[in-house]
Amino acid sequence: MSDFLESIRNDLEEIERTAMPFGKYGPEFHPPNGIPIYDLPVEYLGWFAGKGGFPKGRLGTLLKIVHQMKVDGSDSVFDIFRQQRGGRTPLRTPPQRSFDFGAQ
């Protein structure tokens, strides 16, 4: 039983450290590292599960774990990670608050 718990602990620690390395939530659109995978929307992860297929390797395994936890309603497990980072990672750029209509 302790090997199983150790495996879960290692998976959660790795999920905490992993950011999305590509795509819409990757570093190109969310510099410098991308969105942490635990903050990815469940719909985005669902696309991988349903149509696209999860990436190969360790990243795919971690994304599957995060997706399953979100689908099962266990997303609150990630609240500890969010608190350490100062809250949820914003997925949208903030709206422009000042406007310049030029001199008239």
Q: Quick one: pLDDT at residue 59?
A: 95
Residues in CB range of 88: below 8 A, 6 or more apart: 39, 82
Tokens encoding 85: 């980072």
Q: What Å distances lie between residue 63 and 26, 71, 95, 102, CA to CA?
A: 14, 12, 29, 48
**DSSP codes of every residue in 39-98:** GS-HHHHHHIIIII-PPSHHHHHHHHHHHHHHHTT-GGGGHHHHHHHTSPPP-SPPPP--
Per-residue pLDDT tens, the chain, 104 aa: give them: 689 999 999 999 999 999 999 999 999 988 899 999 999 999 999 999 998 799 999 999 999 999 999 999 998 999 999 998 888 877 776 677 777 777 66
Residue 45's pLDDT is what? 95
State the sign of the Cα–Cα–Cα–Cα dihedral 29, 61, 7, 1: positive
Residue 103 pLDDT: 66
Q: Name residue 19's beta-bridge partners.
A: 36
Residue 95: what pLDDT?
73
